[in-house]
Structure 1
């Protein structure tokens, strides 16, 4: 009995050792599980953080694209804007319709009849209306002409009774009503020898348009067989010109002058430069036309300019512009050397002043 005591005392010791090992294994397993869980938690956190960062970048990129598209997108028109656009289109349509009606009225002679009733049209068929181009700074030239070949005062009225009207032709200042306009109006009150083109702005670059205004205004004010344009640097043999015109009085569609052609100047900055030089073909040569110093149109050609003035194209020079209008018509070109003002002929009717 005594031998069994040690055995019984040692048995609990063995049981305790086994329990400690089991506990250590459990703790080790729990630790491993915690580490794995922590690892997966870190991975999950990194994944979520990465997605959030990527989404933030995407949102930023998308916001920038939307902003850029918004800047490029046309602004929304307000009701007032739409009404203004519609009003402009309606105004443009009305302008076109008015121009068509004006052209029709001119072709049917209504404007001329109105002028006749108002007293600004003489009602007498004239031989010629001679328009002498002038400018605001050419008063001395005008006075020189009035003292030489151009009649003045009562002599000018007497010439009109013979069937020839002469007027200095000028437009209006860019600043309407300024001292330039007032000086011309005052001079005209004294001399009564101006044809003032109210719708034309007097400027060097506007000379080609001046031809349209001159022929249109002249034919609405006077009924003549011929309409003559003369530069302000020309002296005329007035009786010689009257004789020349009288000899061709019954010749319709007459386009008379010192006919010429010549090279088109294509280099900007040079004299006589033509901005639309490319329209004149590979040879860069002007078509045949009357020189601008003195050119003459018969009544029906001047009437054509009057009727179609809205749509007639102008070039850099007035004589080329008039020549281009004549090309599409059944005009009779008359090259008369008496009208070549710069040549040395003794029987010419014009010369450089």
Structure 2
């Protein structure tokens, strides 16, 4: 212990103001081998020992403190995740609280505004007006039902333009011959065969029979096709031009609606006849047939037929709506497309309901579908079958 204390005193730097008198209990000898002690030496020694113990414990304390400070901060990943999710939860709760506060504010404003409005009290006049509106609605429904019934019976205001008939008498028939832009040669053949022209055509109209070539307008209105038809009509005066119809092969089923509607509004006739441009007519035989049926309402006359519905696309007579004809895929009974005759009231029905009538891929099946829902009288006349071998047939293939 004394040796450690001696080494400590040697290593310690002397204080500039200290002297031997500062420690009277210690006196060095000249040979530096002995230490002389004073009477209070033991007290000084005990003080030195305590100081030495404190000095020895000081490095240990500082070393442990430095070790604690230099120890890296170790934090586990679950703690970080928990902290992250806690922050998210805090943000979510804060957002919901803010949103709920905004909603409460809006509801409060609405309740305040509603509280300022007094509840409306219905007066006797208001109740009477409500009852009057209900009665008016009932009358409108009844009027619509009566109008529907009138349409089904073929009633129509007579807005007739007696074009082509100088006298105001009722006609027997209006015969419409379907034609196209490229069928001028066929028209010339018809005019020189069964269809009269010029003065003979006017004399036929005096007998009550009007014949017109029926054609629509070009897709490009006013082009050379339309101009050629207009020029031909000025010279022959035997066309019925359907202004609202586009003349195209795919629009052919709709042509029947436009023809019947236009003809009914233009002429007052007992029968309306549709004829294709690939047949020859025995005009006198047709007039005799119509004369015998004159006055018969609801007459649907033609060469009645039926057949399979073609459901395979690309084949002739393909029907896109084939699935509507049932599992048997067979057409209902209808007049053949070559020659179709309708009485006046049936033609008027088509005119009134033309906007809502469904058309199929072919005009003959379209007309037949319109007749199925009516009280029409189907008249199947073999003389109107143009492919028949009968000698007294009315029509034949050209």
Given the alignment, which residue of 249, 272, 285 partners 1:204?
249
Indicate if the aligned counterparts of 2:155 and 2:345 stay in contact, CA closer than 8 A.
Answer: no
- Number of the residue aligned with 2:232: 187
> Do the aligned partners of 1:130 and 1:227 also contact (CA within 8 Å) in 2?
yes
Query: Partner of 1:25 in structure 2?
Result: 60
Task: State the partner residue of 2:173.
Answer: 128
1:126-165 mapped onto 2 (5 Å cutoff): 126-165=171-210
Deviations 1:250-292 (A, max 9, x none): 3221111000000000011111111011110110000000001
Q: 1:115 aligns with which of 142, 150, 161?
A: 161
1:28 Cα deviation after fit = 2.4
TM-score normalised by the chain length of structure 2: 0.69
SS in 2 for 1:268: coil
Whole-angstrom CA distance in 1 between matches of 2:181 and 2:84: 81
Say whether 1:280 aligns with 2:313: no
- In the TM superposition, structure 1's runs of 4+ consecutive aligned residues that sit over 2 Å from their partners are 1-17, 106-110, 112-116, 118-123
Equivalent of residue 34 in structure 1, options 47, 69, 75: 69
Which secondary structure state, in structure 2, belongs to the residue aligned with residue 329 of structure 1?
Answer: coil
Structure 1 residue matching 2:375: 3-state secondary structure: coil
Question: Are 1:115 and 1:121, in contact at CA under 8 Å, matched by a contact in 2?
Answer: no
For residues 172-209 of structure 1, what are the alpha-carbon distances to aligned partners after superposition, in whole Å with 9 as ceiling and x for unaligned? Answer: 11111111111000000000000001111111111111
| Residue in 1 that maps onto 2:287 | 242
Shift of 1:19: 2.0
Q: TM-score, normalised by structure 1?
A: 0.77
Do the aligned partners of 2:176 and 2:212 also contact (CA within 8 Å) in 1? Answer: yes
How far did residue 325 of structure 1 move? 0.6
Q: Assess, with a 3 A threshold, how the Cα gap between structure 1 residues 161 and 299 changes in structure 2: closer, same or farther.
A: same
Distance 1:204 1:250 in 2: 35
User: Between Structure 1 and Structure 2, which shows a larger proportion of helix residues?
Assistant: 1
How much is the aligned-residue C-alpha RMSD, in angstroms?
Answer: 3.2
Equivalence for 1:84: none
Return 5+ residue gaps in structure 1 as ranges: 59-96
The answer for the alignment partner of 1:91 in structure 2 is none
Structure 2: gaps (5+ residues) = 1-24, 26-34, 92-143
Q: Distance in 2 between matches of 1:154 and 1:114?
A: 24
Q: Residues 252-291 of structure 1 correspond to what in structure 2 (within 5 A)?
A: 252-291=297-336
- Counterpart mapping for 1:68-87 below 5 A: none
Partner of 1:65: none
Aligned length: 304
Take 1:150 and 1:223, find their aligned partners in 2: how far apart are those partners? 21
Q: Distance in 2 between matches of 1:335 and 1:107?
A: 23
